[in-house]
Structure 1
Amino acid sequence: MSNAPPEEPAEFSGASPMDPSGKSERPTTPPRSDVPVLEDTPPKRHNETTSQSFRSGKLDEKRTALIKDLGNIIPEVELDCFTENILPPLQVGFQPQEIVNSLKTSGYIIKDRWKPFEKDPKDDTKREEEIFDPLIGVFNSIVDAANEPHGHEQTLRLSLNPDKPPMSERKYSSRPDGCMVLKDAEEKIANDKKADRWWYDYALALEFKKNEANRNDNVSKQVYSMQHMMTIDPCRRFVFGITIENTKMRLWFSCRATILVSKSFNFITDHTTLTRVFLSLAFASKADLGWDPTIIVSETTEGRVYHFDVEGRKFDSEAVLSDFAADAIIGRATRAFRVIDPVSGEEFALKDVWVDDDRELEYEIYKRLLNDIEKKYGKPGREEAEKLLLTPEVHCKVKADEQEDHTCKVMMREGRYNGSHESSGLPGVQDNLKMDHLGSRAPHGGKRTRIHHRIHYRIVFKEVATPLYNVMDLREIFVVLKDCTRLLELMHGCGWVHRDISCGNVYSYNGRGRLGDLEYAKKKDSIGKHDIRTGTLDFMAVEVARSEYMFCPELDRDTIRSNIFANTETIRSPQPNFYYNGIHDMESLWWFPIWMMFFHDIKFWDTMNESQKNDRISMILELFPRHLDTTLRHPFLNSSFSFKKSMSCLPECFDVFSNVLDFLRSNLKRNYQLFEATLPTPDQAVLDGLYGLCFEAWDVCIEKATGVTTLVPVAFKPYSDDIPFATSTSKRKATIAPPLSILPASKVPRIDSPNT
């Protein structure tokens, strides 16, 4: 799943979750393993949550980064649409207008205003906290008036103006102006003044301002709170929020497909709407408030233990292996856990992810791929491939209230708001911006143009494997690359491509290679929506980044002369449609050892002075720019001179491997030329010799790496803030600090191909 992120800054002002004094009663999540297992593989754009401003910046910088990640636009929906389709449904018997009438009779509503709010907040001279504190009385009066004749069980309580930030495993100093929190947790706070509030119990956060001019601040804080609640807790499917500026209240909703805000209403005079909102939330089930009913949490002195249900089988979490992808407020939120089957005692790797609802499930892709390999190579070929892939144990579409969980069909109750309507940009985020459509995935410009609704998917693998970016044994790395080359040979031979080869999808298991994350694997001739620009930026083939063939042979001189004098239109002939092919997978594999050498040194070997480090940093920024501009990567692949010049900034201990990679570079280029000379009807047979050359190259590297082995990340800081720098296994490990490693680039936006 996700690549490991940088360490979090220590900006938390409350008690530590691991406070030895025992003041904090609720434990944190279980400690992460030293070895993460699965890498997130969505073909999506770079997320601001991977940026330095989010990772190590101040609180305001983090909030700004999240708004930027949304493209500075948040879709605004009609209030009726929000209350009818997104808010939890009202309990049987609740009639908001009847409750309003009873409160008027009792004198709690006077002259069409709530009694505690005689003035609009902007006209009140009291402090903000004092002005909005009576909202608790309004909430309680509505709840009491509604529940007296019906006796429904109240789920949430409203609390305002906390004296310190809520607790969580993430050290954040954010303190919302208020919250709706689970009633049981709030009763514990009331009975024990030493007890802490925890983000895990927050159903939603509230932010308020006296004046509408401060709306931007409310927006950034609300988005940050929603992101935080969904990031820290695997149990959260979606979250709500409320903001108030003067008299205007807005309702918020965030799930893994989109974030929405309602149009405003006057919470002081629109009594029926406020009553409807408070009753919907106060008495909703935990599932309707966004919690996952298929995960049970045990809180122990060792940490939070998650008990997952996968197709009726139970798995208990032992460690969080990877959850970096869950930081993006919109996305797949891929998480991986090392889990144990409580019945058999066996360990497995569990992957929890939100996938586009029009994609084939990973298990189904796995079975189809093996079947095609068996058709081509027989049973021995299938058995060999099975040993080179991660092995599914069980999988399922996760259900919520007996329905397969879906960001539209379940969370929005198949409402009108399905991503096809126009919506204006939210002025509180950026003035005068408009969207043609609602959005949750972003093109290169950053503006999200469409919702890609998602389903919740869970798959358990038999192997708890190590992603290659966490392998620091150089010889083992080349062994893994050789094994994965063999698997790619089998895949390509039966017409498949992987399309997302990266250091997070290639694994070491018991010292041998395994290839995982098949969500984007497909048959080369299959028709689909998700064909182009799939992959991780640092390892993406140059042609894929450009979406065009770049090695087509030129016409010879005589042909060009003939065409000129014959006045033919050969030069204006249409170019062949671009498709991902097997050489692109092989190029991605080739980029990995190059990436490793630029970001790592061999332990106890050459060290660099400051000048050498600066040269290395400059070359990293050219070769791994974290965007789709391949201007400098192309000559690196195309020219031996450019390749050697770029590699010369590395320590001499890498020279022997650089020479082998230059040999592979030359053969990749030649195979591109041979393949593209056969277009527009490509001849796959021209690639047959490439795999043997790769095996030969990896064997040489394995031999040369024997005795060299241990790699260490390069300590770039403080030389450049542009170089990604991260902990290798966990940003949220509570006890033992993990070793350092480097954070690979994120995935790129999915671009739906007009050719498919």
Structure 2
Amino acid sequence: MENLLSKMEMSVLVEMDGDLRFHEFVVPPCNANGTETPSYKPLEDISCAIAYVPVEGRKRNELSFRVCPNTVIKSQIAGSDNKVDGCFTSEDPESKTLDTSRLACILEYKLNPLQEVENNKQALSASVQIMNDDVRRMFTYGITIIRDRVTLWYHSRSHSMISEPFSFVENPQLLIKVFMSFLFATEEELGYDPMVTRDAKGDYIYRIPSTEQGQQRDRFFLTTASIAEYRSNNITGRMARVWKVVECHPSGAVVSPSGPSHVLKDVWLEDSALTEAQIQSQIFEDIQRFFRDKQDARYLAFERLRPSISDLERNDRYKKYFIEIMADYEGERTKPRSPNSERKRRLKQYRVIFGEVCEAVGDLGSVGEVADVLSQAIVALRLMYCAGWVHRDISSGNILAHRRSSSSPWQAKLSDLEYSRRFSLNSDRGVAGDPKTGTPYFMPHEILSSRYIVPRQPGAQKPKLVVDDLTNGRRPQPRGPPPVYNFQHDLESIWWIFVWTITCRVSHDPSVAFGRKIFQNLMDPPLTKLNFLEDPISEEFMGCLSSPLQQLASPLEVLRCFIYDAYLYHQTANDLADLTSYIDAHQGFATFFEGVKLSQEHWGDTMLVTCHRPVASTTMVPTPNLSEPTRLKRPRDDDAHVADAEAQRPKSRRSKKARGKT
């Protein structure tokens, strides 16, 4: 560092009263001239001086520092129009825009200390855009300056951290260290994932380490379309991305142009969480164990259903009801938090390659197709039940359909097993005590309302209030423990998906209006949704349906009554822990789909509005006209000692003029 300072002293540093100062920043910048950019423009010269001084053991990277207050950050995210005051970027200095893939660190400055909160929000908004838009980004950095006070920001998927502020006027050596760290850092140190590269067209090449026949080799997959991207206003979280991919060479050249496409899911998981491949493997082992006990009451009961248990066992046919996992990879972990942090939560990268490109049941084109796939989905749930597992996140996006050609029948595939658990009422294991998980549209009544369905009082008594009631009082009754997720809950979600399909997904205004009162993305459910399961289906529901679908109202009412009565029976019999007590529920759902199949020729061709289709990776997934279900998972881990981007709720920054600057 001393050698570096001596080489820079003649160009940008000056000694004053025994202390070093930057030539252009002998005193803190002020708002005397009414503008900010000229005040901070000398930072470019300081950066250039640092860049030309060799650093032992380090190679100069392609980054340069720019002060660019009117330059838009170019993005694939619709509606993102952030502008930053400065940045470290590998972009051409003459470029009129900034590409998120080339932005290593953003900078925001203000001369007015009263604008510090606004400054922070603008920096966070830009960081959110970068983390959402660039697949390769594991973490990113930011710098905010208020007059001469510099604060450094670090953002990852598990947490954000900020430094103590320092004065770059009084401590120019520290600013030199910061700038030097960016100018001589490797791509990986800057937060770029070495397992993902970006080609000239903007598509990504994922490297997946794989072991085949005892030999380890890398496989490469090129993204060809975006199937699902869960955009967020937050930096922390899962940030799940789902791509349509083809296998390729490291260069990006496709291995076989006529070869099949696959699906790649890229997500951040809790560090201690089992991966989807591990969970599926455990479920398969438990299914095989179940097959060996042919005297199990479930085996005997389900042998009479179609397909029979013995049919599913033969040649491992049961596996066709689950999506095929070709390869998977656990990648980098997020950095540990500060030792002073109360929580030590870390996340890990997880990439999994699925063999089949499927359609979500929420994207199928007709009611008949949905009914066919849902009738197969209950077979997959039956298998999980036999294995002793509950799925806990049955939704229109997790039940998939695959077919070999447009003339082939759909085959249901159950996916997204990461929240699946072995069933147990013991709070020390299994699903007991877990927070709510799932999609509110389809979440089971008891889980969403946090209470068991119990028999209603047979009759209301005339209310009466006496003085003794007021003086003696009544102790509030403690709320009981939240319901434990059980096997019937998974089945109930199938019912909700069917109701949602024939109301919200049809091109029939009365149906959509009715459905929107029921299906809302709220963890505190509206009474309309709770009552829809507890009370008989109303005439209003039948009247809102399009003509061909009205004949489904009666079967759905019969199934609703069956679901409700089954919950009541579990409470009166106190048999929630008895695995065999859920046999009737599975048989009832099988009977429902067998029954509605008889009239399917009358309503099966009813066309549905499609939420989305896979689109090219260079464009955005279009926003649907109808309300789409949204997954709301575990409560977020907030940390009072960490400046978390989620807590700030940053909004997209517009132009300088919009915020009163010239």
Q: Does 1:357 align with 2:242?
A: no
Partner of 2:349: 456
* Cα 1:741–1:390 shift into 2, 3 Å: farther
Q: How does 1:151-162 map to 2 (within 5 A)?
A: 152-161=59-68
Matched letter for residue 453 of structure 2: M
Cα distance in 2 between the residues matched to 1:220 and 1:123:
21
In the superposition, relative to structure 1, how do residues 376 and 305 fare at CA in structure 2: closer, same or farther (>3 Å)? same
Instruction: Tell me what 2:585 maps to.
Output: 690
Shift of 1:640: 0.5
Q: Which has the higher mean CA deviation after the structures are superposed, 130-139 or 149-158?
A: 149-158
Give the deviation of 1:391 after TM superposition: 0.8
Q: Which amino acid aligns with 1:551?
A: V
Q: 1-side partners of 2:432 and 2:155: how far apart?
A: 25
Query: Which residue of the partner structure matches residue 706 of structure 1?
Result: 601
What is the CA-CA distance between 1:739 and the residue it aligns to?
7.8
**What is the one-letter code of the residue matched to 2:414?**
L
Q: Percent identity?
A: 23
Q: Deviation at 1:174?
A: 1.8
Instruction: Measure how far apart 1:200 and its partner are.
Output: 1.0
Q: Which runs of 5+ in 2 are unaligned?
A: 211-217, 249-254, 293-309, 404-409, 461-475, 638-662
Q: Contact 2:71 / 2:84 at 8 angstroms: preserved in 1?
A: no
- 1:195 shift after superposition: 7.7
> Who is 1:333 aligned against?
239
Distance in 2 between the 1:106 and 1:454 partners? 44
CA contact (8 A) 2:70 2:85 kept: no
Q: 3-state SS of the aligned residue for 2:263?
A: strand
Q: Measure, in 1, the Cα distance between the counterparts of 2:600 and 2:431.
A: 42
Shift of 1:105: 6.1
Which residue in 1 is equivalent to 2:628?
743
- Supply the RMSD in Å over aligned alpha carbons: 3.2
Cα shift at 1:255: 1.2
- Residue 328 of structure 1 and its aligned partner are, at CA, apart by 4.1
Tell me by how many angstroms 1:555 deviates: 10
SS in 1 for 2:374: helix
Q: 2:329 aligns with which of 393, 396, 403?
A: 396
> Which residue of 465, 488, 493 corresponds with 1:588?
493
- 2:468 is aligned to none
1:544 maps to a residue whose letter is I
Is 1:406–2:333 an aligned residue pair? yes
Q: Give 1:239 deviation, angstroms.
A: 0.8
Moved more, 374-383 or 217-226: 374-383
CA contact (8 A) 1:238 1:255 kept: yes
CA distance, structure 2, for counterparts of residue 735 and residue 218 of structure 1: 29
Three-state SS of the structure 1 residue aligned to 2:629 is coil
* Change in 2 beyond 3 A, CA 1:157/1:116: same
Q: CA offset at residue 286 of structure 1?
A: 0.4
Q: Could you tell me which residue of structure 2 aligns to residue 174 of structure 1?
A: 82
Report the residue type matching 1:362 in the other structure.
Answer: E
Residue 266 of structure 1 corresponds to 167
The change in CA–CA distance for 1:360 and 1:748 in structure 2 (over 3 A counts) is closer
Q: Please state whether the residue corresponding to 1:224 is helix, strand or coil.
A: helix
**Structure 1 residues 226 and 730, CA gap change in structure 2 (3 angstroms):** farther
1:485 to 374, 378, 384: 378
- 1:316 lines up with 2:226 in the alignment: no
Q: Which is further off, 686-695 or 388-397?
A: 686-695
Q: For 2:135, which of 222, 234, 237 is the aligned residue? A: 234
CA distance in 1, matches of 2:108, 2:200: 29
Shift in Å, 1:98: 5.0
| Structure 1 letter corresponding to 2:556 | L
SS in 1 for 2:569: helix
CA contact (8 A) 2:361 2:396 kept: yes
1:507-518 to structure 2, matched below 5 A, reads 507-510=400-403, 511-518=410-417
Partner of 2:471: none
Distance in 2, matches of 1:235 and 1:332, equals 14
Q: 1:153 Cα deviation (Å)?
A: 2.3
Q: Which is worse superposed, 212-221 or 691-700? A: 691-700
> Following the alignment from structure 2 to structure 1, what is the Cα–Cα distance between the partners of residues 221 and 237?
25
Q: Hey, what does 1:366 align to over in structure 2?
A: 280
1:6-25 mapped onto 2 (5 Å cutoff): none
Q: Partners of 1:149 and 1:485 in 2: how far apart?
A: 64
Instruction: Give the letter for the 1:113 counterpart.
Output: R
1:39-54 alignment, distance < 5 Å = none
Following TM superposition, by how much is the alpha carbon of 1:464 offset from its aligned partner in structure 2, in angstroms? 0.7
Aligned length: 574
2:400, 2:118 → 1: CA distance?
A: 43
Residue 499 of structure 1 and its aligned partner are, at CA, apart by 0.3
Task: Spell out the pairing of 1:264-663 with structure 2 (5 A cutoff).
Answer: 264-300=165-201, 303-311=202-210, 312-325=218-231, 328-342=234-248, 343=255, 345-378=259-292, 381-382=312-313, 383-398=316-331, 405-408=332-335, 414=336, 417=338, 421=341, 437=342, 452-510=345-403, 511-525=410-424, 526-527=429-430, 531-551=434-454, 575=480, 578-601=483-506, 607-608=508-509, 612=510, 617=513, 620-641=516-537, 643-646=538-541, 648-663=543-558
SS at the partner of 1:586?
Answer: helix
Cα deviation, residue 127, structure 1: 1.9
Task: Determine helix, strand or coil for the equivalent of 1:677.
Answer: helix
Cα offset, 1:746, TM superposition: 2.8
- Normalising by structure 2, we get a TM-score of 0.79
Return the alpha-carbon distance in structure 1 between the equivalents of residues 542 and 183 of structure 2: 62
Q: What amino acid is aligned across from residue 368 of structure 2 in structure 1?
A: R
Aligned to 2:148: 247
Rounded Cα–Cα distance in structure 2 between residues aligned with 1:751 and 1:166: 29
User: 1:619–1:390: structure 2 CA closer, same or farther, 3 Å change rule?
Assistant: closer
Q: Are residue 134 (structure 1) and residue 53 (structure 2) matched?
A: no
Q: Contact 2:389–2:422 (CA<8 Å) still a contact in 1?
A: yes
Q: CA deviation at 1:214?
A: 1.1
The aligned amino acid for 2:274 is E
For residues 108 and 406 of structure 1, what CA distance do their matches in structure 2 show? Answer: 40
Contact 2:58 2:184 in 1 (8 A): no
Deviation per CA, 1:676-726: give whole Å up to 9, x if none: 223376333232122222122223434434364243439xxxxxxxxxxx6
TM-score (normalizing by structure 1):
0.70
1:250-285 CA distance string (max 9 Å, x none): 111111112222221112221222122111111111
Larger Rg computed on CA atoms: 2
- The answer on whether the counterparts of 1:524 and 1:581 sit within 8 Å (CA) in structure 2 is yes
Distance 1:236 1:735 in 2: 19
- What CA distance in whole angstroms lies between the structure 2 residues aligned with 1:105 and 1:645? 83
